[in-house]
Amino acid sequence: MLQKFNPKNKDLQIYVKDGIYHRDEAKVSVFDSIVQGGDGVWEGLRVYNGGVFMLDRHLNRLMNSAKAMHFANIPTREEVTKALFDTLKANEMTDGVHVRLTLTRGEKVTSGMDPRLNDMGCTLIIVPEYKAPVYDNESGISIVTSSTRRNSPNNLDSKIHHNNLINNILAKIESNVAGADAALMLDNYGFAAELNGTNVFIAKEGILYTPHADACLPGITRGLVIELAHENNIECIEKNISLTEMYSADEVFSTGTMGELTPVKMIDGRAIENYNNTDLTKRLTKAFESKVAMYCVPIS
C-alpha cells in the first residue's frame, strides 16, 4: 500500500507563509524552525464533495497544539480557514483531496534552538493533494508491534500534534522491514497506544474498546467513532488494552483521516478471528460514511 506519485498533483498550488505558489516554487527558509528543530504543529484534513471534513475540530487541535508550544503571533482560525479555502480554490479542488496543513514557529534570526530567535511570526504551509484513503478498507491491513514506544505525557505529550515524528517513523520502519502495513505502538507500560499514523479500536463480544487518549493522539476520527458508537447503542469503553487482548479480539480496526476506518486482519502473525460474528467495524464504517456530508464545512 505504498503511495505513488499522482500525476494529477503535478501542478499543485501550495500556500507558504503569505502566498500561493506552484509546487516547484513553494519553499520554506533554511532558517525556519521546522527545518532546525521539527518545531511545528500540523493537521491532516480531508475534502469531500466541496467541503472540509470536521474543520472546526481540526482548527481546535491546531490552536491547542500551537498554544501548548507557546508559539507567538499565531494566525487566527479565520486566517487559517481563508488560506485553506483560497488554496483549495486556486487548485479547483473539491473532492478526493487530502490536505497537509503545517504551522511552524517561523523563521529564526539566526540558527539555534531558542524560540526567542523567532521574531517573524509563524509559517503556515498548506499542501493539498489528490489522495484517496491510503489503505484498502476492504482487504484490511496487517500490523506488527514496534519496539519504539509512543510518547506519553511524562516525555512528550501526545496531545500536541507536533512534527517531531521520529518515534512514529522508527515504528513505521519496523513495520516496513517486517513486511506489514503499519506498526502498533505501545505506551510506557506495554499497553497498546495506537498505530504509527492512526488510532486503534478492538471489539470483543459486541463491546468496543480503545486505549485512553494518554499515549496516543486524540484523533478526530477516533472521537467521531466514539460518538457514533454511542448513537448506535454500541458500548464503547476507553481502557488499557494488552497485546493478548488485541490478539484475541473479534474485530480490530484503525481510524484516521488518512485511512478512515480500516480493518486490521493480522497482528504479529496472529489472524484476527471473529468467533462472535460481530459486525461493529461494518456498522461504524456505514455510520461514518452517512455522517461525512453533515460534518463538512463548504469551501467558500
Pick the binder of ligand PMP from 40, 128, 256, 263 (CB under 6 A): 256
Q: 9: exposed, middle or buried (C-beta count within 10 Å: 0-12, 13-18, 19+)? A: middle
Q: Total residues at the site for ligand PMP (CB under 6 A)?
A: 14
Query: Three-state DSSP class for 20?
Result: strand
Can residue 112 be called a binding residue for ligand PMP (CB under 6 A)? no
Question: Closest distance between ligand PMP and the C-beta of residue 281, in Å?
Answer: 16
Residue 210 interacting with ligand PMP (CB under 6 A): no
- C-beta of 198 vs 281, nearer to ligand PMP: 198
Q: Which stretch binds ligand PMP (CB under 6 A): 1-9, 21-29, 116-124, 216-224?
A: 216-224
Q: Which stretch binds ligand PMP (CB under 6 A): 3-11, 194-202, 230-238, 243-251?
A: 194-202
Is 168 a binder of ligand PMP (CB under 6 A)?
A: yes
Q: Using CB under 6 A, which of 33, 167, 222, 278 touches ligand PMP? A: 222
Region of 10-18, 251-259, 269-277, 278-286 interacting with ligand PMP (CB under 6 A): 251-259
Distance in angstroms (rounded) separating the CA atoms of residues 81 and 85:
6
The CA-atom distances, in angstroms, between 138 and each of 142, 262, 264 are 13, 8, 10
Q: In this chain, which of 118, 199, 281, 285 binds ligand PMP, going by CB under 6 A?
A: 199
In the chain, helix, strand, coil percent, each to 5? 30, 30, 45
**Comparison of 55 and 117: residue with beta carbon closer to ligand PMP:** 55
List, as one string, the DSSP characters of 87-140.
Answer: HHHHTT--SSEEEEEEEE--B-SSSSS-GGG--S--EEEEEEEE---SS-TTT-
Helices (H), the chain: 33-37, 55-68, 77-90, 166-177, 220-231, 243-247, 280-291
Residue type, position 163, single letter? N
Cell numbers linked to 186 = 505501545
Nearer to ligand PMP, 20 or 135 (CB): 135
Among the listed residues 257, 252, 230, the one whose alpha carbon sits nearest the alpha carbon of residue 241: 252
Site for ligand PMP in 27-46 (CB under 6 A): 44
Does the footprint of ligand PMP cover residue 220 (CB under 6 A)?
A: yes
Q: Closest CB to ligand PMP among 20 and 246? A: 246
Query: Helix and strand tally (H, E) in the chain?
Result: 7, 16
Binding residues for ligand PMP, rule: CB under 6 A, are 44, 168, 194, 197-199, 217, 219-222, 255-257
